[in-house]
Chains A and B, each alone.
Chain A
Amino acid sequence: MTSFVLKKALLIIPSLVALSVIVFLLSKTAPGDQVQMFLAVRGSQTDRLSYQQQQKVYSEVYEELGLNKPLFYFSITPAYFPDTLYKVIPASKKNVMKAWLRQKQDWNWIQLVFDNQEALIETADFTNDPELSFILTQIKTIHATADLKEARQLAIDLKNTSEIDTIDVPQKTRELLSNYLNNFLQNQKKSQRITAFFPVFHWQSLNNQYHQWLNKAIRLDFGISLTDGQPVNKKISTALIWTMSYVIIAYLLSLFLAISLGLNTAYYQNKWQDKLISTSSFVLYAVPLFWLGTLAIVFLTTDTYGKWLHIFPDIGVGSAYESMNWIEKLGEGLPHLILPALLLSMHGAASAIRLVRNTAIVELKADYIVTARAKGISENRMVFRHLLPNTLLPITTALIGGFPGALAGSVVIEVIFNIPGMGRLLFDSIRQMDWPVVFAMVMLLGVLTFIIYLLGDILYARINPKIKYQSA
């Protein structure tokens, strides 16, 4: 037993590492510019700054978020592909570079053109000359166009329409400008390197983003949220308390319903009680939770369809009581949690009742029940002392299996009832592309899932002595 548990526990570690790598790399491919979001949260006004100052602020935040480091310990790319693309800032520029790279496999050319453009803008930004400022805007547009053919067309137009030689600008700027256009429009020959598409292995350093994240995550520091600058840990723990407070009610309620109604139906098999409860639980099982929730809020929480139907308080626990401690918060919020807990427990009980019933029917035919009855013990004692313990195993399995899911919070319920729990937090973070929060939640859930499964294995053995784990 001990060795079995140890072995399982050891298996958790590689699974978690794999999970973290997958989610980390996936979250990096997701759209959105983290730096811009971060700047917006801080309320920094970057519009009024000059180009250089903007660049400086951007690169500072970029470094602060650790984005100037390579993504992972190593990378494998096609040979023509630069392995230093992560150093390019800002994200919009990186995306255009990537798009151009896709169309023209010539990294040197792309770098050259971008360098020229930057040099030009640095020297000539905030010019008073209308002609030059028009040209600069055009050039900025060119470098924001992902389609290389379109960008080239824009450059050709620019060269043909504007008379660079006649504008009154310093000699240096003029040189830079013509240099830029010449470089951009130089004969576009595709790189003919035969090995261009061969996979190449680049070893990056240990000082990479994943390593950095992992180092902090081991010390349970998941960074700060990109949307409001709060620590991720604090956001998650607040949400967890809200979710737990109604999930625990729902869990206890559905456990009670499942055991009492399940045993009842099994005991009165094929009588009217059984038919009524079994049918209604089967029907309820097919009712989507979000329909149930919407039906409840539309019909039961407002006066719209008559005062007599306004049974439950208005939805939403809100965030108005930030200043209260959590006991006061619960006292204030609990009435609003009753309806969601009720719905969730009904939904959970629908499948659990069937599970208990099916097990109990089999058990009722077992020899030990016949013996107990022959001995003449009361029916109540038979059900509660003999039958109940033996039906606990499958329901334990179901409950334990469903726990991580319940902890993740029912996203739809929390969105419908406006509860600031885990599901709601996930929903909001995903919509706002707040990856640090999403990532931390996935990891937390992964760890919990594995631990709960391990505990489940141990618990089975405690409940049912017949189960013996072999450390094969």
Chain B
Amino acid sequence: MKTKHSKISVNLSIMILILFAMVAIFAPFLANDKAILCKDADGLHFPVVSGQKCEHPEFSLQPFVKYHYSGIDPQNAAFISPLADQQLQPGQQRHFLGTDRIGRDVAAGLIHASRVAILTGTGSMIIALLIGLLIGLTGAYFGNDQLSITRRSAVTGLLFIFLGTFLAYYRKYFSGNFGQVLFTLLIFMMGIVLIDDVLKRLKPLRKRFKLPLDIMFSSFIEIFQSLPASFLVLVLVSLFTKASLYNVILIIGFLRWPSIARFIRAEMLKIKEQRYIEAARAIGMSDLRIIFRHALPAVITPVIVAVAFGFSSSILLESALSFLGIGLPADHVSFGSLLSEARKNYEAWWLVVFPGFAIFCLVFAMNTLGDHVSRLMERK
């Protein structure tokens, strides 16, 4: 019942994605101020990889764009249009997509920005997928009355969680004291095992109770999803003292898992009722084995759909953040930061059109594919 996509648009989307992936992987070879391959008196060099300079080449293979994304060209600073006359020295390449305020090449910036975008999407989706799969699958599989644990193991589990949180929180203070920390850890492990052993002997703690896993997880998802993501991401990002792309990826991944978990949960609720799961249970297979060997392959298709949409929304979030200039290093180049340059000078149309169109293409391709797969899924 979804919008139909013609074969052309699906194929086009796949091509766009492959193109972006290629550009992302080979970004340093596509735009760099060093040659890819260079032959001089000393022999053959690969300046892009080794970082050497190549002064008097007999032969050299230059990248597609001969500028580094952070390289500044002072002669062509202050927004030089791609169509305008550029102050070029002999042998210098034209800035064929123009420059920004301080004279960085826009084409090189776009190539690097594709890499940032793909990295953000992939990284945050891996994080979101790991959390989302775990919570979505187990929550739906065990429901509210399938998982029962003893009070003893609940106490032990909480102790372990406490220890883990403690170590994570004070991790900075532990570095450099490896021996002592290891010792503390050992003592505590032993302590927990000992407590566990004592608890085993206490009758009331041997009682089992049902863990309402599904209610717990789904209300958690609901709370997480109900808070506006753009708002949350701003607050979280600003709380990190260090501005870095990896922190942003981490946070986006952490914000994106609920939508994936919800999708997987819905699918798992259907799969749970299937005969083969029942059969696997009947022959006494362990729950974990059923979940990961039998149910997991069946949720691959919905996972692809969720990841495709999640991917595009992560890219959008990251570029919105770099557009606002929050949480990312000042010299960071991404589609958003290129676009934000245009706000400083309205005449720089090339800074509005190209980066924006690049994000649009990437997001459009991802959405089309996600939509296409979900339509195939429904037809089945």
Whether A304 contacts B347 by the Cβ 8 Å rule is yes
Chain B interface helix/strand/loop/mixed: helix
Whether B339 contacts A404 by the Cβ 8 Å rule is no
Whether B172 contacts A445 by the Cβ 8 Å rule is no
Q: Which residues of B contact A416 (CB under 8 A)?
A: 343
Least CB distance, A340 to chain B, in whole angstroms: 15
Q: Which residues of A contact B229 (CB under 8 A)?
A: 405
B41 at the interface (CB under 8 A from A): no
B235 at the interface (CB under 8 A from A): yes
Per-residue B-contact encoding for A273-312, CB less than 8 Å = 1, 0 else: 0000011001101111111001101110010110000000
Chain A interface helix/strand/loop/mixed: helix
- Which of B176, B183, B188, B239 counts the most A-chain CB atoms under 10 A from its CB? B239
Q: Which residues of B contact A81 (CB under 8 A)?
A: 170, 173
Smallest Cβ-Cβ distance to A78: which chain B residue? B170
Q: Which residues of B contact A197 (CB under 8 A)?
A: 174, 177, 180-181, 183-184
- Number of A residues near B (Cβ < 8 Å) is 68
Given A199-B166, A286-B312, answer yes or no on A408-B184 (Cβ-Cβ < 8 Å): no
Whether B227 contacts A445 by the Cβ 8 Å rule is yes
Whether B360 contacts A286 by the Cβ 8 Å rule is yes
Q: Which residues of A contact B175 (CB under 8 A)?
A: 102
Smallest Cβ-Cβ distance to B357: which chain A residue? A291
Least CB distance, B345 to chain A, in whole angstroms: 9
Q: Which residues of B contact A304 (CB under 8 A)?
A: 346-347
Interface locus among B250-258, B261-269, B318-326: B318-326
Whether B352 contacts A76 by the Cβ 8 Å rule is no
User: Which listed residue, A23, A103, A279, A285, touches B176 by the CB 8 Å rule?
Assistant: A103
Using a CB–CB cutoff of 8 Å, the interface residues on chain A facing chain B are: 11, 15, 23, 26-27, 29-31, 76-78, 81, 101-103, 105, 194-199, 270, 278-279, 282-283, 285-291, 294-295, 297-299, 302, 304-305, 354, 358, 361-362, 401, 404-405, 408, 410-412, 415-416, 426-427, 430-431, 433, 438, 441-442, 445-446, 449-450, 453
Q: 17 more A-B contacts (CB under 8 A) besides A304-B347, A404-B227?
A: A26-B239, A81-B170, A102-B175, A194-B180, A195-B184, A196-B177, A197-B183, A198-B184, A282-B3, A286-B364, A287-B360, A291-B359, A298-B346, A298-B352, A358-B2, A412-B230, A433-B238
Q: Which 10 residue pairs spanning A and B have beta carbons closest together?
A: A291-B356, A405-B228, A286-B364, A197-B184, A430-B238, A408-B231, A286-B363, A449-B226, A408-B228, A278-B3
Using a CB–CB cutoff of 8 Å, the interface residues on chain B facing chain A are: 1-4, 162-163, 166, 170, 172-177, 180-181, 183-184, 187-188, 219, 222-223, 226-231, 234-235, 238-239, 241, 312, 316, 319-320, 323-324, 326, 336, 339, 342-343, 346-347, 349, 352-353, 356, 359-360, 363-364, 367-368, 371
Question: What are 27 A-B interface contacts by the 8 Å CB criterion?
Answer: A78-B173, A102-B173, A105-B173, A197-B184, A199-B163, A285-B367, A286-B364, A288-B356, A288-B360, A290-B323, A291-B339, A291-B360, A294-B352, A295-B352, A298-B342, A304-B346, A358-B1, A401-B226, A408-B228, A408-B231, A415-B324, A427-B234, A427-B326, A430-B234, A430-B235, A446-B227, A453-B222
